[in-house]
Amino acid sequence: MRLKNNVHSVTVFAPATVTNVSCGFDIMGFALFQPGDEVRLTITDRQGVTITSIEGGNGKIPLVAEQNTAGKALLSMLQALDLPFGVEVEIFKKMAIGTGLGSSAASAVAAVWALNQFLEEPLNKEELLPFAMEGEKLTSGQQAHADNVAACLFGGFVVIRSLQPLEVIALDYPSELHCAIVHPQLELKTSDMRRILRQQIQLKDAIEQWGNIAGLVIGLQKGDFELISRSLKDVIVEPVRGKVIPGYQQARQAALEAGALGSGISGSGPSLFALTTSAEAAQQCAQAMAQFYLQLNLQCDTYLSPINPHGPQIVQIED
Amino acid sequence: MRLKNNVHSVTVFAPATVTNVSCGFDIMGFALFQPGDEVRLTITDRQGVTITSIEGGNGKIPLVAEQNTAGKALLSMLQALDLPFGVEVEIFKKMAIGTGLGSSAASAVAAVWALNQFLEEPLNKEELLPFAMEGEKLTSGQQAHADNVAACLFGGFVVIRSLQPLEVIALDYPSELHCAIVHPQLELKTSDMRRILRQQIQLKDAIEQWGNIAGLVIGLQKGDFELISRSLKDVIVEPVRGKVIPGYQQARQAALEAGALGSGISGSGPSLFALTTSAEAAQQCAQAMAQFYLQLNLQCDTYLSPINPHGPQIVQIED
């Protein structure tokens, strides 16, 4: 594996992602333009991964590479490719952690995409995915779902058809789609949000869910907004998780009344997403949701973004 | 509701259908060109529905209109439209019953499509669907699934996105698709085959299933045969039903080895389907499956057909 001669340091941005997307629990996700994380890698002769600084993250993100999602992803990639050098890592957390917006995936993807830029023959995204997943496993264990990492790395709207073997399918989707995100400032642990889910579900609910999954996929492929809207329903996970996110049902209802095609929990929450057919409609949905949370005396961050078709982006390459 | 002046009797063919299609339990189905049922309606001044003859069906199909799927469908349509006439019905069962190929749906659809031909302003397929469903409810109860009826009436490959309200989506699919059907001569009751299913399923299995549903829908829409093939898997229903169909696993394996994209139980069985990319491959799959059943001393009927895009077809109109 040969290195480019002239690259000394690379900075990459990788985006936040919305996963589950109502009916697509653990199998669907899409990328936003903002927020996101940046990772800067500098090549060194010293083998291994040294995290030299972390900006943001409230001091909760470990500096030890083996325990850090970006660090772990880089270690697995350096090792698998038997790369004859090491990297110093600066992490710029530009989004809060524990939001349901794929913060750990963004850092891992930014890191592997940055490392890829040093290679004379860079890997493709399918080849990079397993390394980024190694980072995600730190948060979610060996059974890590791939939806955040895949949506972040591939950009656009993705389906994880299978985890073993890992298979990601890029969906077509109408370019008019916009997303409003509201992140109420609550602390929820991803592991807790998974623990409250029932491991057994009703067959009749599963049948209703797979009708909606088929509907959402067809709606996205064909650009049929009414079909997308009818299909953005979750009868399995949101009814459980929605109960532990204060005001969830009302905030969602506010988005729907403000014109959203659909609205639901982003990832394991507490952020809510709303999908719309225009930037203006997304803004109205974000306002409606944020206003509702203000009534509950909950501060929130809001983000507006079309679907991001790119995934990670190079911010800077230094010789 | 006005009648055409010149129509005295109408004969309609409606096709057999394959439903579930591995991962799409209760939500997916497609129509075949053969086998199928024919229904002949003759207008009479006497109100109501009189079934005058049933050819085939081994004497097991009731002549009483209220208890007959075609009769019940016709009664509900005559009543809802307040039609000022009655019909005499001849039913030609050209397929066995209890095969898993939607025999009752074919009779009900043929009947309402025939009745529709008498109307000056015929109903569209969406409007006819609820009447055909009334017939299906005789077999499956109020919770009747719509997959056979919808695939038979609309033709092509359909998804039932929602039962209440009833919503059928026509899928695009590659025209090369062919189907091999093998019907081993076993008697299985649809109601028994539903009773053996677990009402609770594992969330992790449901997640695997909805990845495959998304994959199958995308594969059909894009004409991606490899994706179709990888997605034609059922981890929920076939593992249960497969155990009560003698030789199911081996017959399916024989089809896969003969080149099928995928193979599974049609409806609630005992028929097996195999999907292929050509007529020749379908024939090879049918032979391989039939040969296996012969080793078990089970006679079987085999059918070969591309996907039927039409649904019901008029055979004859008599003045």
Handedness of CA A45, A50, A52, A57 (dihedral sign): positive
**Confidence class for position A142, pLDDT limits 50, 70, 90:** low
Cα gap A13→A317, rounded to integer Å: 12
pLDDT at B187: 77
Selecting from A159, A201, A212 the residue whose C-beta is nearest the C-beta of B200 gives A201
- Give the relative orientation of helices A125-140 and A69-81 as an angle to the nearest 10 degrees: 140
pLDDT at A191: 76
pLDDT at A137: 87
Query: What's A2's DSSP letter?
Result: P
In a domain, A295, yes or no: yes
Which residues does chain B have within 8 Å of residue A164's beta carbon, measured at their own beta carbons?
Answer: none
Q: Tell me, what amino acid is at A186?
A: L
The 10s digit of each residue's pLDDT in A143-161 is: 678 999 999 999 999 999 9
In a domain, B252, yes or no: yes
Residues in chain A: 319
Q: In chain A, at which residue ranges do the beta strands (DSSP E only) sit?
A: 9-19, 28-44, 48-55, 86-92, 157-162, 167-171, 178-184, 200-202, 262-265, 272-276, 300-306, 313-318
Give catalytic residues of B, as residue numbers: 136, 190
Distance from CA of A204 to the nearest CA of B (A): 7
**A214 to B167: CB separation less than 8 angstroms, yes or no:** no
B291 within 8 A of B196, measured Cβ to Cβ? no
- Do A151 and A192 lie in one domain? The reply is no
pLDDT at B81: 94
Mean of the pLDDT values across residues B243-260?
A: 95
Q: Which of A26-30, A245-249, B8-12, B124-128 has the lowest mean pLDDT?
A: A245-249
Residue of chain A whose alpha carbon sits nearest to that of B161: A211
Whether ipTM > 0.90 holds is yes
Which residues does chain B have within 8 Å of residue A202's beta carbon, measured at their own beta carbons?
Answer: 199-201
In a domain, B3, yes or no: no
Question: Omega into B35 within 30° of 0, i.e. cis?
Answer: yes
Cβ-Cβ contacts under 8 Å for B131 (sequence gap 6 or more) = B73, B74, B76, B77, B80, B112
- Do B206 and B158 lie in one domain? The reply is no
- Angle, CA A11 vertex, CA A143 and CA A80 arms, to 5°: 45
Q: If we measure between CA atoms, which residue out of B182, B183, B178 comes closest to residue B280?
A: B178
pLDDT at B141: 67
Mean of the pLDDT values across residues A130-144?
A: 82
Percentage of chain A with pLDDT > 70?
A: 98
- Do B201 and B161 lie in one domain? The reply is no
Q: Is A127 among the residues known to form the active site?
A: no
- Angle, CA A300 vertex, CA A295 and CA A303 arms, to 5°: 130
Predicted confidence (pLDDT) at residue B1 exceeds the cutoff of 80: no
Predicted confidence (pLDDT) at residue A1 exceeds the cutoff of 80: no
Predicted confidence (pLDDT) at residue A299 exceeds the cutoff of 70: yes
Residue of chain A whose alpha carbon sits nearest to that of B208: A162
| Mean pLDDT (chain A, rounded) | 94
In a domain, A212, yes or no: yes
In a domain, B1, yes or no: no
- Do B137 and B31 lie in one domain? The reply is yes
Structure tokens at B4: 């055409």
Cα gap A183→A300, rounded to integer Å: 5
- Do B99 and B230 lie in one domain? The reply is no
- Do B211 and B271 lie in one domain? The reply is yes
- Do B238 and B113 lie in one domain? The reply is no
HSE-up of B8 (CA within 13 Å, CB side)? Answer: 2
**A230 to B200: CB separation less than 8 angstroms, yes or no:** no
Cα gap B142→B136, rounded to integer Å: 9
Which of A49-58, A281-290, B49-58 shows the highest mean pLDDT? A281-290
- Do A13 and A132 lie in one domain? The reply is yes
pLDDT at B191: 76
Cα gap B260→B278, rounded to integer Å: 10
Q: If we measure between CA atoms, which residue out of B236, B271, B267 comes closest to residue B251?
A: B271
Rama region for A244: left / alpha / beta (φ>0; ψ in -120 to 50; rest): alpha
Q: Tell me, what amino acid is at B161?
A: R
Domain at A105, CATH number: 3.30.230.10
> A50, A190, A208, A302: which one is catalytic?
A190
- Do A31 and A130 lie in one domain? The reply is yes
Selecting from B171, B201, B212 the residue whose C-beta is nearest the C-beta of A203 gives B201
CB pairs under 8 A between A and B: 124
B49 vs A141: which has the higher pLDDT? B49
Selecting from B25, B221, B230 the residue whose C-beta is nearest the C-beta of A207 gives B25
Mean of the pLDDT values across residues B187-214?
A: 89
In a domain, A3, yes or no: no
> A136, A139, A238, A276: which one is catalytic?
A136
- Do B164 and B284 lie in one domain? The reply is no
pLDDT at B143: 66
Residue of B210, B222, B237 to mutate, interface with A, max A Cβ within 10 Å: B210
Q: Is A190 among the residues known to form the active site?
A: yes
Mean of the pLDDT values across residues B165-184?
A: 96
- The domain of B239 spans 178-306
Cα gap B32→B101, rounded to integer Å: 9
How many other C-beta atoms are found inside a 10 Å radius of the C-beta of residue B265? 26
A45 within 8 A of A86, measured Cβ to Cβ? yes
Structure tokens at B15: 């096709």
pLDDT at B142: 62
Q: Are strands B313-318 and B178-184 parallel, antiparallel or unpaired?
A: unpaired
| Mean pLDDT (chain B, rounded) | 94
- Do A267 and A141 lie in one domain? The reply is no
- Angle, CA A190 vertex, CA A54 and CA A109 arms, to 5°: 45
Number of domains in chain A: 2
Cα gap B202→A198, rounded to integer Å: 9
A234 within 8 A of A197, measured Cβ to Cβ? no
Q: Which ranges in B155-202 belong to alpha helices (H)?
A: 190-195
pLDDT at B58: 83
Which residues does chain B have within 8 Å of residue A238's beta carbon, measured at their own beta carbons?
Answer: none
In a domain, A4, yes or no: no
B215 within 8 A of A169, measured Cβ to Cβ? yes
The 10s digit of each residue's pLDDT in A88-120 is: 999 999 998 889 999 999 999 999 999 999 999
Structure tokens at A216: 């959402």
Domain at B207, CATH number: 3.30.70.890
**A162 to B27: CB separation less than 8 angstroms, yes or no:** no
Cα gap A128→A120, rounded to integer Å: 15
Q: If we measure between CA atoms, which residue out of A62, A69, A59, A56 comes closest to residue A95?
A: A56
Which residues does chain A have within 8 Å of residue B215's beta carbon, measured at their own beta carbons?
Answer: 159, 161-162, 167, 169
Q: What pTM was estimated for this model as a whole?
A: 0.94
Cα gap A161→A170, rounded to integer Å: 10
Q: Are strands B86-92 and B48-55 parallel, antiparallel or unpaired?
A: parallel
**DSSP-based three-state secondary structure for A237:** coil
**B218 to A217: CB separation less than 8 angstroms, yes or no:** yes
Mean of the pLDDT values across residues B29-44?
A: 97
Which residues does chain B have within 8 Å of residue A218's beta carbon, measured at their own beta carbons?
Answer: 159, 169, 171, 217, 221
DSSP structure string for B95-152: S-SSSSS-HHHHHHHHHHHHHHTTBSS---HHHHHHHHHHHHHHHH-TT--SHHHHHH
In a domain, A1, yes or no: no
- Do A221 and A251 lie in one domain? The reply is yes
Which residues does chain A have within 8 Å of residue B169's beta carbon, measured at their own beta carbons?
Answer: 214-215, 218, 227
